[in-house]
Chain A
Amino acid sequence: MTTPGLNPLAVIGSILLLLIILELIRRRYLRERYALIWILSGFLFLLLSMRTDFLDRISGFLGFTVPANALFFFGILFLILIVMGLSVITSRLAEKNKVLTQEVVLLKNRVADLEKSHQPENPTP
């Protein structure tokens, strides 16, 4: 059960994940700030797939009967945290968007006022 093992398919998957993340940064689709967490998780996957006995040990220690359950448990926990983080980020963006829109509306109003008081002699259509 606890022999150090390497899961070739999982290793390939983890490396693919890391490559996709790096390519996304290179194309500027992903800011470094948000990429760091993904890179860290990519390396964690890589570690777990190169040493499958780690997962066995962790699940044994925590009392999971099947190691895969430990994987699911932590996977779902991780995803919940990520989604919460994303919700916080979207809320912040929505707030900024609102402030920006209000600023634009106020500016439009000021420009219109200025145009009225600065009527050019030959108004262009």
Chain B
Amino acid sequence: MMRTLVIIPALNEEETLRGVIHGIRKFLPPADILVVNDGSTDSTAAIAKEEKVLILDHPYNMGIGATMQTGFLYALSAGYDIVIQIDGDGQHNPESLPLLVEPIAEGGSNLVIGSRYLSGGGFKSTFLRKIGIRFFMSIVWVFTGKRVTDPTSGFRAMDRKAFEFFSGEYPSDYPEVEVLISAHKKGLLFQEIPTMMRHRQGGTSSIGILSAFYYMLKVTLSISVGFFRRMR
């Protein structure tokens, strides 16, 4: 029996969190659910408590990277076999959860990414987002030789080998693209599957125009310097 933990990194998701939790319970009933509350100032923590899911509270906001890492550390110490990462804003459709886990359970991949853009996903994007995705796609292609259509997707499943590695080393901001390269260097196998995604149901995107520029610059710098880094 594979023990599965679904991690929801949450920052002010009071409008959508309940729906996400119900969706997970419906489509992946045996999994445990962990909300890592990254210093929310709304009722996110109270909702998680009401729903009786596992909850870890950051005393202040630490960013998505540290939030996921907290979850990985918990999964490791609690002895889970599979970890799933899903956003708390409702844009990831929980119907895709069984598909996301399948390649992990069968042992074909260490990391599975749910893609909005692989055929079957059918997601309409803005022009700016398309450029960003294209840019990150080429970076991943250059450093790993793999075609990943949705490298910034935060809808992922991974096995113990992967989250054990990430629990020791995970970038603090904008981690999604970077960890694909470090995972590849570590010898972890990853693949994409098409998933349906909805536009966010509440809250605001964590990425504006200026930070989109910083996102690209930071990831490029970090990946190209990291390329000359020895693996720990």
Chain A residues within CB distance 8 Å of chain B: 22, 25-26, 31-33, 35-36, 39, 96, 99-100, 103
Contact = CB atoms under 8 A, between A and B. Distances in A.
A100 B218 contact: no
A59 B20 CA distance: 60
Nearest to A95: B60
A25 B59 contact: no
Given A31-B172, A32-B218, 17 more contacts: A22-B225, A25-B221, A25-B222, A25-B225, A26-B225, A26-B226, A32-B221, A33-B173, A33-B218, A36-B214, A36-B218, A36-B221, A39-B221, A96-B59, A96-B60, A99-B59, A99-B60
Contacts of B229: 26
B59 A103 contact: yes
Contacts, number: 27
Nearest to B172: A31
Interface of B: 59-60, 172-173, 214, 217-218, 221-222, 225-226, 228-229
A contact patch SS: helix
A100 B221 contact: no
A22 B228 CA distance: 10
Contacts of B222: 25, 32
